[in-house]
Structure 1
């Protein structure tokens, strides 16, 4: 068995793995079905020994038919005789599959799909067949999970890179630079945004959708787009965040996000700022750095009826605003040390200077405030400096 047991490698193909499984069980077909995102339907994603019509012709509701029963109970099942009334996909019967054995695909104890093999001649699958198929299913589940994690991470990174500008737009009168540093593990929903608005206004956003992975990145993209849309029709940052909160409550139930949104017009001497549970920006000028006094309204997704507040922040020529997500300040600066946001903010402030350009400030902050080890959380950083000659 050790020589024939499936060796799962990241670069393999699911179909090739199913070929090996079919051969090992001396069967005529092998099929893998995976639960969809709602965990209510099994979708056939790969097969060996069956034509394309059979592979893709049916989805199996959880709890129904042969595969649906296996997924619902997480228990192997044998059909000595395949009939049109005991399988959801009638093509199995029509294509001559006479007997089936199937086992659940498990990941961390949770069913993610079903693996089954079939015979074109009547056959009684034994307990040994079930155990061999279950062993193969363990390997296949590891492969699926590993590949899904890699693909999800890459997809989230591509999505996030497409939404977060590496080089922020040029705004006359402002010097702007930003950084997005993905964590070593899962990506999250951190983002920053800078965009022009009607009437010569500029919108500046720093936000964080709670959670990790592709799901958070996708929601982040929707939240980002919705905020931009609301900002086109509403001048008040507080009102924009109220509208965004209602949108999240209706369409993204259960999602939480923190956002700080600022709007300013040339010559950018005043920024109107509203915060939905997000860290207030730092303001640097005349050798001093202090956190802007912005009311800490509730996170988005908590109290959609909240009347949000906004404040006017004066920015003198040459002064610098620094926006950041919690990944920037909630770092373990020393191995084993407790997370101390106040210390993190102090480190950012110590490396922020009105004497530096926005780009130089980004470099200084990351060099001086980042721990020696790789960041464990996503980091978004945005520095906005008013033209000293304004």
Structure 2
């Protein structure tokens, strides 16, 4: 064969592999892994000898179950060159069938005679060996066989499992010419194997039925001629006419199943609901065909369990709730089942004595007092009982996993919970590797290039694995890489006997693992909603039993549950990160330059999700400053976006120099409009806006007066220079969003170096917190007036904030400053235009005293225009004020009693006026107007560095 469709032919790939060249990507993963294992085992492609043994049971349970199926397959492929073989769990061929009988004579003994062992460690890559290694249906074509002798054929093989234990006990393999290849062939192979598995189940059911019949027949013989009213032999479902509820039946089934695991006489006392007492009695029994089993009988009484001639064994620790289905199954359908309650079983009563085929007495129990009820609970073989107990323990672990895994929305913590659940009940060590993108809440475009060790957990602290945080690099062929490439689970059952090929690149590290007696492993991908989130690996060392198929299925189920929780945590992390990024982008990134207060702030998002808390510091005219904190009800992106809209609106309203109560009224109206818009767009799935709270304060350092108003927000804390802490009694006001209700302002005089602390309710309130206690903690934390605002922020958070906040916390600490009286100059004047020149002269002299002669020309022009406008268009009282804001600016203010404000306009060349405000705007860095209770103030600010 040559190169086809861009792929290298299997013949050429095999040649390159044997020469030591890389064939990654040109050979199917399972085949390449098998080739690597074959080379590690030292096998030669020219090897022709296989082990042969005649020490196998030609009439084993597997053979008896498979013979009818093999006969049907031989008939179906009659006349063809199909070679059908049945092998046991070791790879030894037990039966062969040929579509053309003459093939048996033409083929070599190795291909036609039962007894040859085709396990991979002897035969290399072949159908039987690969199916045992991969534990799933496998197909091998021509040159994909490792040995030269097998290159002429293709084969399809699938494992046969014992449905009780899940163990692979055999392989069904079809060998055929490549021309026979058909898409329906793998389906046929799988269905044939399922037929064999069903027949194995039927054999077990027949064995159990034989045990039950032996028991019932023995009882019938033992009770002949005795009185029928001393007791009654019934089934558990009829015990006390349904007096046992489902939970009681489950408990009895659980105890009975554990008794079946021990093939000896025993008695266990069980306490049920409603004060009922039960004694479970187990007795060995042997059927006529020689099957050895155990029968468990219940003696139920309202007072106390009857005496038993055997010493009662210690009750087992837990119930087998997972076997409750046995309570409704008949003897013909399950190997553990309710006893047959037919007339033959209920015809007589008396001592529960029976004898098996060997003449033994399987039960020697005397009946209790009249009125006690006796009933069969379970009958079964000890090995089957052990499988049932193991199944129960697996189901218990899954039930526990549903409550232990996913208790938080943290990706790393969820991965740890998977490991803690699995150790030690499933594995001795567990590692979890996740891509860095998943840890950040994203999807990983290339998991194998970004894999990090996230969890290492085991029965010993000195786990022999790469530590948490290690960058995991995977080599081709490793179980981890195979999981990343799409295999649902990789099971390695014997790491100690022969070092697998995939361990060779990291042999030193592998030796460290093997030195801790690690002998088997299961590697499972963490898949959720089609996204590969990482890999979980389970190792066994202390338990000598290697991992089996049932363990791998349990590991898959645990990994699937953990993957879903990890994906939920990942999605939450992503949304939380987005909301937090939006929240932080909408909050002030830096504090503006202003001289009225020394400010520090702290923002802490809630653990449950970002909310709508915000704060702001807004410089105003006349050296004043506005301080603002608010809280939008709710969490998530919607609350953060609403917060951003409110903060921008509040800043714009503040720029208009609105009074605190007027600003809150505008915010209230805005929120009502936003809420109405949300209601109109409710079809989009929006949750709407519930409301918000806000506290707005304006501090004037020239008068040391702070004007505040609040809308349903906690009042601020005020720290006086002497260290006393008070909470000013401000009018509460309604929350924003109710609409139509008024807000009130309050004025508080703040001495220099006072500290005003504004905060949101997340600091002092909570589901499990007392507000009064939190306020006392806040009071004590603030009683240090000499601290800087940054230190005060830190102390408050440490002393008052909860360790795990369920609401956002916004904290704003402002230490007040004042403008000294010597830096303020004020002149009152009547509305006389002739006095404008006097004001210019007085201002020039004041600037000279302040050392601002360079600004005299600009100040004279600005004052001349502003005072002229006030005299000409305003009304009394007229006042001029100069403020020397140290190191920042010179502020010129002219106030009058009118409410009309001038407007900047462009004057035409023919106009004789209209250029005054234009000159003011050009000479100042900012100018504007604000309204007061007595009129208005026109102000202009000139930067000191402009001099």
Superposition pairs of residues 119-134 of structure 1, within 5 angstroms:
none
Partner residue in 1 for 2:731:
295
RMSD (Å), alpha carbons = 3.6
Partner residue in 1 for 2:690:
255
Contact kept? 2:654, 2:663, Cα under 8 Å: yes
Q: Distance in 1 between matches of 2:804 and 2:443?
A: 32
Q: Distance in 2 between matches of 1:220 and 1:315?
A: 29
Partner residue in 2 for 1:313:
748
Partner residue in 1 for 2:771:
341
* Correspondence for 1:357 among 769, 785, 788: 788
Q: Distance in 2 between matches of 1:272 and 1:375?
A: 31
Q: Distance in 2 between matches of 1:320 and 1:365?
A: 13
Q: Distance in 1 between matches of 2:607 and 2:709?
A: 31
Does the alignment pair 1:152 with 2:582? Answer: no
* Correspondence for 1:324 among 753, 759, 782: 759
Contact kept? 1:153, 1:186, Cα under 8 Å: yes
Does the alignment pair 1:304 with 2:739? Answer: yes
TM-fit CA distance, 1:143? 7.7
TM-fit CA distance, 1:142? 6.9
Partner residue in 2 for 1:375:
805
* Correspondence for 1:191 among 611, 614, 626: 614
Contact kept? 1:319, 1:388, Cα under 8 Å: no
* Correspondence for 1:270 among 686, 689, 705: 705
Superposition pairs of residues 57-206 of structure 1, within 5 angstroms:
146-165=569-588, 167-206=590-629
* Correspondence for 1:211 among 630, 634, 638: 634
Q: Deviations over 1:164-188 (max 9, x none)?
A: 2365334213111010011222111
TM-fit CA distance, 1:345? 1.2
Q: Distance in 1 between matches of 2:593 and 2:703?
A: 14
Structure 1: state its 5+ residue gaps.
4-8, 17-22, 25-104, 106-137, 333-337
TM-fit CA distance, 1:206? 0.7
Q: Deviations over 1:106-125 (max 9, x none)?
A: xxxxxxxxxxxxxxxxxxxx
Contact kept? 1:168, 1:178, Cα under 8 Å: no
Write 1 or 2 for the structure with the bigger share of strand: 1
Partner residue in 1 for 2:815:
385
Q: Deviations over 1:185-227 (max 9, x none)?
A: 2111111110113443311101100101111111100110011
Q: Deviations over 1:299-341 (max 9, x none)?
A: 001x211111111111001111111111111257xxxxx4211
Contact kept? 1:182, 1:378, Cα under 8 Å: yes
Q: Distance in 2 between matches of 1:143 and 1:364?
A: 36
Q: Distance in 2 between matches of 1:150 and 1:196?
A: 37
**TM-score of the superposition, structure 1-length normalised?**
0.60
Contact kept? 2:618, 2:654, Cα under 8 Å: no
**More divergent stretch after superposition (231-240 vs 139-148):** 139-148
Give the 3-state SS of the residue equivalent to 2:658 in structure 1: coil
Q: Are the structure 2 counterparts of residues 282 and 13 from structure 1 closer, same or farther at C-alpha, using a change threshold of 3 Å?
A: closer
TM-fit CA distance, 1:145? 5.1
Q: Distance in 2 between matches of 1:356 and 1:145?
A: 44
Contact kept? 2:702, 2:818, Cα under 8 Å: no
Q: Distance in 2 between matches of 1:166 and 1:230?
A: 20
Q: Distance in 2 between matches of 1:386 and 1:306?
A: 32
Q: Are the structure 2 counterparts of residues 139 and 348 from structure 1 closer, same or farther at C-alpha, using a change threshold of 3 Å?
A: closer
Structure 2: state its 5+ residue gaps.
1-135, 137-433, 447-485, 488-528, 530-560, 679-688, 821-947
Q: Distance in 1 between matches of 2:812 and 2:778?
A: 12
Q: Which one scores higher on RCO, CA 8 angstroms, separation ≥ 6? A: 1
Q: Are the structure 2 counterparts of residues 189 and 292 from structure 1 closer, same or farther at C-alpha, using a change threshold of 3 Å?
A: same
Q: Distance in 1 between matches of 2:563 and 2:670?
A: 40
**TM-score of the superposition, structure 2-length normalised?**
0.26
TM-fit CA distance, 1:151? 2.3
Contact kept? 1:203, 1:263, Cα under 8 Å: yes
Superposition pairs of residues 35-74 of structure 1, within 5 angstroms:
none
Q: Are the structure 2 counterparts of residues 248 and 264 from structure 1 closer, same or farther at C-alpha, using a change threshold of 3 Å?
A: same
Q: Distance in 2 between matches of 1:164 and 1:283?
A: 24
Write 1 or 2 for the structure with the bigger share of helix: 2
Give the 3-state SS of the residue equivalent to 1:223 in structure 2: helix
Q: Distance in 2 between matches of 1:151 and 1:339?
A: 30
Q: Distance in 2 between matches of 1:13 and 1:317?
A: 55
Q: Are the structure 2 counterparts of residues 362 and 180 from structure 1 closer, same or farther at C-alpha, using a change threshold of 3 Å?
A: same
